[in-house]
Structure 1
Amino acid sequence: MPDNKAVVYQGPGKVEVQEVPYPGFELKDGPGVNPANVGRKVPHGAIIKAVATNICGSDQHMVRGRTTAPAGLTLGHEITGEVIETGPDVEFIKVGDLVSVPFNIACGRCRNCKEGKTGVCENVNPDRAGSAYGYVDMGGWVGGQAQYVLVPYADWNLLKFPDRDRAMEKILDLAMLSDIFPTGYHGCVSAGVTTGSTVYIAGAGPVGLAAGVSAFLLGAAVVIVGDLNKERLEQARSFGCETVDVSQGDPQDQIAQIVGEPEVDCGVDAVGFEARGHGAEAETERPATVLNSLMQLTRAGGALGIPGLYVTGDPGAADEAAKKGSLSIRLGLGWAKSHAFYTGQCPVMRYNRKLMMAILHDRVQIAKAVNATPIPLDRAPQGYEEFDRGAARKYVLDPHGLLAKAG
């Protein structure tokens, strides 16, 4: 069997590319693997040769030491690749298929999966509903920032691209289907974005930029993106977003200058639990800032889509409450304004086929919008460092040099 190199978390601030075991159709013991999953047979799985596997802001939280992730964890949950082997229970996915892998691992059999809530599958994580590849407390399924990765429940989970050659022409765009494009779209859908909406998106990282693209796709009249990072704000402007520099103060004043009033129809949180303050507090971590700000600036009767990550364990938090995921949220304000809140993992399968069609038929250029930047797998540590410094890019790892050939 082939060698397998992967990106492995070594501890706060450090990742390395190392040799790891080639995947088989059984979960083995290892860093982060739930003991109850050790020995689990996966005859319904497929081995994927990664064509593209992306660095995500959620990975960055772990690498910064802001979770309880153990050293030795293979990272990565954004996977696009070719099926090279299938288990004996796989009926419809075939060797040679080019596929997108939703970051949610879902069985397709439980109540939640049958209701389309694939982000909270009940059968893949023994500790609680919901799972993902290469992520802390998510069941221990091995990460996909690797040359080869196992995908369980292949017939259910994998989205096959209908034409391989056509897909390879747009492979950077299609690589965004595993997470950030559906996640940004989900944030907008759950915030109620529709024709003529005014939308404020907190965060101009890749998910925030994907949300901006999604808002336009859904028909928004005005899309405003707020951030502290000037390069990322410039990237948001590159495809038509208005921008707010929250280091200059409360975003409401700047929003009023754009739309004529200090509120919007829809709010999206694409920042999550490492939020910083606004204005004079822009360099200070204030984890509740974004949520409280969105309640202030979203109109009464509006909705907040919250795809930004919040965790139950954050050892690097500024206070004891935040270490347990408890934040000082102004729930009374949201209640008084009759806001709807929608949180949690995006159920990728609810959107990925539709968004694939939008890409294949030139309705959207998501890779350009998020500045997707391919790099070799061996440069992953550098990609993590640059992303952590605020690079206005979405780094896409190229484990086999196939992106370079496609480009």
Structure 2
Amino acid sequence: MTNNRAVVYKGAGRVEVQDTPYPELVLRDGPGVPKSNVDRKCEHGVILKVITTNICGSDQHMVRGRTTAPEGLVLGHEITGEVIEVGRDVEFIKKGDVVSVPFNIACGRCVMCQTQKTHICTNVNPERPGAAYGYVDMGGWVGGQSEYVMVPYADFQLLVFPDRDLALEKIMDLTMLTDIFPTGFHGAYTAGVKMGSTVYIAGAGPVGLAAAHSSQLLGASAVIVGDLNAERLQQAKSFGCETVNLKEHDRLGEQIEQILGVPEVDAAVDAVGFEASGHGESGEQPAAVLNAIMDVTQAGGGLGIPGLYVTDDPGGVDEDAKTGSLKVRFGLGWAKAHTFATGQTPAMQYNRNLMKSILSGKAQIAKAVNAQLITLDEAPKGYEDFDKGAAKKFVIDPHGMVNS
């Protein structure tokens, strides 16, 4: 039996690369797997040899100990790979296909999937709608920061790249299709960004940078990115964004007015989530970003919220925050008739067209997020650097296929 090595969560602040079981076309018992999902047969699935798998900010929330993720969980929901085994019930996916895996696990059969709401599939997670690989409370499906991984419902889910050689040539861009690029695009699109829009992006991490680049692709006339991290703001500047250093300026509207001439934008995106900090030196304030974007978005504007919010946060700043109950000025959003778009991104709504934008050279997402290739053994250091605020998107290459 072929060996399999993977990045495993070992408790708050710790990940390790360990030997793990080679994947089967069945979901075995393991960390985070609900009893009702144990031994679930997946003859509709495939085994992938992982080409690239990325470290995500959502992974970092778990690694910091800010969720109820169990120790022993294999991490990783951003997966691109080569099909090396197909299940009995797979009809259209073939061995040798190079594919992108949407981070949402979806059956393709339920009402949600049939209406393109693959982020809240009702069949893949007995505990709640929606599932993902290697993530807390998401059905227990094994993560893909590994050498090999099983992907269920392959015919429905997998995005096959039409040209293997071109795909490998552009793999550093295409690896972003599994989550970060659709998520950033979803944030901008659901906020209503369009030709001529002015948009404020809260957060210059990889999702915020992807939302900023997506806003440019959607035709925004001005994209303003705010963050506390000067290095990440410099990365946003590198592809044409305006920036606001929120560590130095606690009056966001005034900074926007200096850029646009007015203190408001047409649309805003929250790419931070529940570990938000207040502006200036005020420390963690879970609702800070939500309240700020309501304040600076014009009446009738849209708020895209791809940033993660959770129902259980053991490290929350107070008892309310520990259950996801935040002090949001909802009355302000109501008074301004804002539109809110929340939840996981339905990646399949966007990934095919974003793939075309990459293959044509229109989208330069790897450059925008400053993608950096690392080995599987370097993943723990990647997590450490990312936690310190590195202005990079770490892409793991388990087999050395990208370097070759």
The question of a shared fold, defined as TM-score above 0.5 by the shorter chain, is answered with yes
Correspondence 1:22-33 to 2 at 5 A: 22-33=22-33
Correspondence 1:287-366 to 2 at 5 A: 287-366=286-365
Report the residue type matching 1:305 in the other structure.
G
Instruction: Confirm or deny that 1:388 pairs with 2:387.
Output: yes
Cα shift at 1:250: 2.1
Following the alignment from structure 1 to structure 2, what is the Cα–Cα distance between the partners of residues 21 and 279?
Answer: 47
Cα shift at 1:35: 1.1
Following the alignment from structure 2 to structure 1, what is the Cα–Cα distance between the partners of residues 178 and 61?
Answer: 19
SS of structure 2 residue aligned to 1:341: strand
> What's the TM-score once normalised by structure 1's chain length?
0.99
SS of structure 1 residue aligned to 2:162: coil
Q: Give the corresponding residue for 2:280.
A: 279
Cα shift at 1:279: 1.8
The C-alpha deviation readout for 1:344-386, integer Å capped at 9, x for no partner, is 0000000000000000000011001100000000010000000
Report the residue type matching 1:255 in the other structure.
I
Report the residue type matching 1:306 in the other structure.
I
The C-alpha deviation readout for 1:221-280, integer Å capped at 9, x for no partner, is 000000000000000000000001111212111110000010000010000000000124
> What's the TM-score once normalised by structure 2's chain length?
0.99
Report the residue type matching 1:75 in the other structure.
L
Cα shift at 1:34: 1.1
Instruction: Confirm or deny that 1:215 pairs with 2:209.
Output: no
Asked if the contact 1:302–1:338 (Cα under 8 Å) also holds between the matched residues in 2, the reply is yes
Report the residue type matching 2:305 in the other structure.
I
Following the alignment from structure 2 to structure 1, what is the Cα–Cα distance between the partners of residues 252 and 3?
Answer: 50
Instruction: Confirm or deny that 1:106 pairs with 2:106.
Output: yes
Correspondence 1:15-54 to 2 at 5 A: 15-54=15-54
Q: Give the corresponding residue for 1:74.
A: 74
Following the alignment from structure 2 to structure 1, what is the Cα–Cα distance between the partners of residues 152 and 246?
Answer: 42
Q: Give the corresponding residue for 2:126.
A: 126
Cα shift at 1:6: 0.1
Q: Please list every run of 5 or more consecutive structure 2 residues that lacks an aligned counterpart in the other structure.
A: none
Asked if the contact 1:269–1:291 (Cα under 8 Å) also holds between the matched residues in 2, the reply is yes
SS of structure 1 residue aligned to 2:8: strand
Fraction of identical pairs, as percent: 68
Asked if the contact 1:245–1:251 (Cα under 8 Å) also holds between the matched residues in 2, the reply is no
Cα shift at 1:2: 1.3
Single out whichever of 241-250 and 63-72 deviates more from structure 2: 241-250
Following the alignment from structure 1 to structure 2, what is the Cα–Cα distance between the partners of residues 288 and 73?
Answer: 29
Report the residue type matching 2:270 in the other structure.
D
Following the alignment from structure 2 to structure 1, what is the Cα–Cα distance between the partners of residues 369 and 347?
Answer: 18
Following the alignment from structure 1 to structure 2, what is the Cα–Cα distance between the partners of residues 279 and 25?
Answer: 50
Q: Give the corresponding residue for 1:253.
A: 254
Following the alignment from structure 2 to structure 1, what is the Cα–Cα distance between the partners of residues 303 and 143?
Answer: 30
Report the residue type matching 1:201 in the other structure.
I
Cα shift at 1:403: 1.3
